[in-house]
Amino acid sequence: MTKKKILAICGSTRKTSSNLNLINAIVDLTKEKFDVTIFNGLAVIPHFNPDLDNETPPEIVDSFRKQLKEVDGILICTPEYAMGVPGTLKNAIDWTVSSCEFSHKPVALITASSLGENAHESLLMTLKIIESNITEQTQLIISYVKTKVSRDNKITDNPTLEQVSSLINSFDELINETKTAPIQG
């Protein structure tokens, strides 16, 4: 069986991010079905500038767009900063609005923070407006993430592990459905 290609995006640029630990835990949980690449360029994507959003965008933006196009699905794990979406994550997504890489692409969204509801709702609104393929079953808020994911990339809280496993299964199903669905014109 061919593994599905997934691009994982961590909304935090911190090297010891709980969200990066969560992504790595998901990589371990899904190694039989998903081939996950973690996008590491979030911190170096320039501020969105419509004047630069043309046939020759900045190299890192072009690379990000190509990576998004080549995958079967996108996994986003993000914290909440000051009750909102981290600026670097929103900035990266803004660079894809005109080029439509998120359009109809299956997305799993996990907001993992102390609370996370505000960032989650804001990001969900953005993902819907750019026509990402996201469902209730492919989104999750993990509150107090630092108490549920270890630094050695293990989900230590059983209810959280069950929720993440359910999300993974729903994400896998969504990708399968998207691959077999007729192309919208």
| Predicted confidence (pLDDT) at residue 1 exceeds the cutoff of 60 | yes
Tokens of 46: 């320039």
Our count of domains for the chain comes to 1
| Predicted confidence (pLDDT) at residue 121 exceeds the cutoff of 90 | yes
Residue 80, burial from CB neighbour count under 10 angstroms (0-12, 13-18, 19+):
buried
| pLDDT given at position 153 | 86
Over the chain, what is the mean pLDDT? Answer: 95
Closest to 146 in 3D by CA, of 138, 156, 137, 135: 156
Distance CA 170, CA 185 (A): 25
Tally Cβ neighbours within 10 Å of residue 1.
Answer: 5
Residue 33 lies in a domain: yes
| pLDDT given at position 180 | 80
pLDDT digits (tens, 9 = 90+) for 122-145: 999 999 999 999 999 999 999 999
Name the band, by pLDDT with cuts 50, 70 and 90, for residue 183. Answer: low
Closest to 75 in 3D by CA, of 179, 184, 164, 177: 164
Amino acid at 113: S
pTM over 0.85: yes
Residue 185 lies in a domain: no
Residue 14 lies in a domain: yes
Name the band, by pLDDT with cuts 50, 70 and 90, for residue 151. Answer: confident
Quote the domain boundaries for residue 142: 4-180
